[in-house]
Structure 1
Amino acid sequence: MSSLSNFKKSALILLLASSLAACGDNDNNDPIEDQEPVVVVEPEPVVYEFTITFSNLTAGQPLSPLSVIAFDETAPWQFGETASIGLEMIAESGANEAYLSDENALASASAEGPIGPGETTTVTLSVEAQDVLNLSFAAMLGNTNDAFTGLSSVDVSTFAVGDTLTRTTLAYDAGTEANTETAETVPGPAANGEGFNEIRDDIIDLITMHPGVVSNQDGLSTSALGAGQKFDNPVSKIMIERTQ
């Protein structure tokens, strides 16, 4: 019995050794350094491109370079609210650098130069696709104290390539400078006065509808503006097209 028992033990040991050797040949137990690394490929972001066509509909108001901002939730300006410093600078001088760097901007773009009466220009804006995507526009009416035009918020989230939208725009008062129309305070070619001034001397200090130019021919003797600078709404037209 002892010899048989020893034989069984020896056979069992040989069987286990054979099984372990077979397991050692299994590819799944190769050292980690011999395995191919797993490469994770990040998807390329989807980029939307919009072409904006901007037309000046006035007879005597040059418009500053159109400023375009893409955002998701918080618009750069809203009717009835206080103008930001960036919008104040546009409305009083046409300078748009501060406005275009708005903290909520996903992307921004500017026309190359001012748009004269009856003229049209285009702006191209590229921005990564978002579930919520809006565009905002602003440009100064040059022969005024602080008038500007534009659109606060246009939802373009669902635009497909080739989709277009056309809107006309009204004249707004930034509420940052009194509408004195004096030669010292109107920066446009009709007066060549001061542009941006950090002092806010308008008693309202809110974005409202602009009351229009009075002019020196209509009783405001100190005005540097004449009938040629008067305007009616709408003052501009904006066409938005998704081109990519």
Structure 2
Amino acid sequence: MRFSKSLIILALSAGLAACGDSDKSSDNMDEALEEMTMEMGEMATNHQFMVEVVNLTAAQPFSPVAVIAHTEGMLWKIGEPASEALEIMAEGGDNSELLAAEMTMQAASAESPLPPGEQVTLTLTTGELDSLKISLATMLVNTNDAFTGLNAIDVSSLAVNESLSRTSFAYDAGTEANTEAQGTIPGPADSGEGYNEMRDDINHVAMHPGVVSQDDGLTNSVLTSQHKFDNPVVRITITRTQ
């Protein structure tokens, strides 16, 4: 809620008048006005972050990138089962459940997939700065359930116009076997099935072992050697702009 300066003065004047006349009333009012104005300014301050995402792969489009601001929680933990929201995103590229996660304070999503070698910039605006973290997730769509991103990166100490840059690896959601088989991959290499609620893999998040492909002897794979990827697969730069 925003208050005008005139309303603040009126409220302070009424309070001081009730205390009786004093030579110090004017000084007290000035000090109180300054303090209250600063407090209201802090309450009204928005903190803005620009998040630039670069796809470093040769032939792995990313699903629409999801970015969230939060103060608690993580999107995933190595060695633990993926949440349903992460599974849906990692198998089919749908980030809507991640964006709506309980820990999410503010969120932004790219409007379309991110092609190999290209970049997209998203903006997050929040009124909270203490313990503020930013997380990001996106699927490598020419895979069964590979994803990448950033997990709870603390940005609370970033000054305005200061940036931090990170690269990230490909992770395996562990919810769908990496068969590379026809009909199982939602990306343009196959246009197959996306999310399937059945889990038929190790059922915990791990580093992704990589694509095998038909060129390297996986005869039922719809992928070729061009779909292979080296780590890191993404570069992310976060800049505080306000």
TM-score computed with the length of structure 2 as normaliser: 0.82
Contact 1:85 / 1:99 at 8 angstroms: preserved in 2? no
Structural mapping, 1:148-167, within 5 Å: 148-167=147-166
User: How far apart in 1 are the matches of 2:157 and 2:168?
Assistant: 22
The two structures, once aligned, show a CA RMSD in angstroms of 1.7
User: How far apart in 2 are the matches of 1:137 and 1:69?
Assistant: 6
What is residue 52 of structure 1 aligned with on the other side?
51
- What amino acid is aligned across from residue 67 of structure 1 in structure 2? A
Task: Please report how far the alpha carbon of residue 182 of structure 1 lies from its aligned counterpart in structure 2 after TM superposition.
Answer: 0.8
What is residue 104 of structure 2 aligned with on the other side?
105
Contact 1:76 / 1:102 at 8 angstroms: preserved in 2? no
1:118 aligns with 2:117: yes
Task: Please report how far the alpha carbon of residue 79 of structure 1 lies from its aligned counterpart in structure 2 after TM superposition.
Answer: 2.1
- What amino acid is aligned across from residue 174 of structure 1 in structure 2? A
Structural mapping, 1:199-218, within 5 Å: 199-202=198-201, 204-218=202-216
What is residue 22 of structure 1 aligned with on the other side?
none
Aligned-pair identity (%)? 53
Structural mapping, 1:218-237, within 5 Å: 218-237=216-235
Matched residue of 2:72: which SS?
Answer: coil
TM-score computed with the length of structure 1 as normaliser: 0.81
Task: Please report how far the alpha carbon of residue 76 of structure 1 lies from its aligned counterpart in structure 2 after TM superposition.
Answer: 2.1
Contact 2:47 / 2:129 at 8 angstroms: preserved in 1? no
Deviations 1:122-148 (A, max 9, x none): 111111123211111100001000000
Structural mapping, 1:1-244, within 5 Å: 43=40, 44-202=43-201, 204-244=202-242
Deviations 1:95-129 (A, max 9, x none): 11111001011111111211101111111111112
User: How far apart in 1 are the matches of 2:104 and 2:158?
Assistant: 19
Matched residue of 1:92: which SS?
Answer: helix
Deviations 1:8-49 (A, max 9, x none): xxxxxxxxxxxxxxxxxxx97xxxxxxxxxxx9882332111
Aligned length, in residue pairs: 207
Task: Please report how far the alpha carbon of residue 168 of structure 1 lies from its aligned counterpart in structure 2 after TM superposition.
Answer: 0.7
User: How far apart in 1 are the matches of 2:197 and 2:45?
Assistant: 40
User: How far apart in 1 are the matches of 2:75 and 2:68?
Assistant: 8
Deviations 1:182-202 (A, max 9, x none): 111001000110001111111
Matched residue of 1:121: which SS?
Answer: strand
- What amino acid is aligned across from residue 193 of structure 1 in structure 2? G
Larger radius of gyration: 1
User: How far apart in 2 are the matches of 1:83 and 1:113?
Assistant: 24
Contact 2:49 / 2:239 at 8 angstroms: preserved in 1? yes
4+ runs deviating over 3 angstroms: none
Gaps spanning 5+ residues in structure 2: where? 1-16, 19-35
Matched residue of 2:199: which SS?
Answer: coil
Matched residue of 2:86: which SS?
Answer: helix
Task: Please report how far the alpha carbon of residue 78 of structure 1 lies from its aligned counterpart in structure 2 after TM superposition.
Answer: 2.1
Matched residue of 1:78: which SS?
Answer: coil
Gaps spanning 5+ residues in structure 1: where? 1-26, 29-39
